[in-house]
Structure 1
């Protein structure tokens, strides 16, 4: 019989990405090549100040790049997921899926009486 302590440790989550609004922004950007700041803000239902803080944090971690420019005379900011950010997001999602798969398998085994309970 297998006890919970005999299982391998849970996959490591990326604490920087694990925060829900950061995860939302990275997931949004994973769906496009580049997006204007206000498109990300609206798509993720964030305020300007919240998104600005998130962008700064993720840019400092090299998970996204910021490009500034103009459309006509209006300043614009575009956000893009970096290759490092794309990898970090993929690894984080893989770790989350491993946790779900492990818990589901253990729950199924427990239901069938093949795992000792604590």
Structure 2
């Protein structure tokens, strides 16, 4: 009986979203927008666009506030997001290992 192919997550799979999730998974509870942008190498508009998709899917939570007079945005991976990210990475790892 053939083993079923692992399923990659279509929400996380695009590289910008995978990169954002990776930073959030490895980082502290809340990661500032500018840190995500720097760590992923994405433009501000790309971080905004892809974080919106992740937020709408329930993968990340977004918190807005200010530090002094400067507006700030922070991201946090939700429990669902962390679970889906780990499953996605496991699927990619299984696919990369090839047929057993």
TM-score, normalised to structure 1, is 0.79
Structure 1 CA distance, aligned partners of 2:40 and 2:99?
29
Query: What does residue 112 of structure 1 align with?
Result: none
SS of corresponding position for 1:55:
helix
Runs of 4+ off more than 6 Å: none
Q: 2:9 aligns with which of 10, 14, 25?
A: 14
- The structure whose residues are more often helix, as a share, is 1
1:104 is displaced (CA, Å) by: 5.9
Q: 1:57 aligns with which of 53, 56, 60?
A: 53
* Match status 1:44 vs 2:40: yes
Number of aligned pairs?
99
Question: Cα RMSD over matched residues?
Answer: 1.3
Normalised to the residue count of structure 2, the TM-score between the two structures is 0.92
SS at match of 1:97: helix
Which has more radius of gyration? 1
Structure 1 unpaired stretches of 5+: 1-5, 106-118
Distance 1:45 1:104 in 2: 33
Alignment-derived partner of residue 79 in structure 1:
75
> CA offsets per residue over residues 74-114 of structure 1, 9 Å max, x none?
1100011111100000111111122223x164xxxxxxxxx
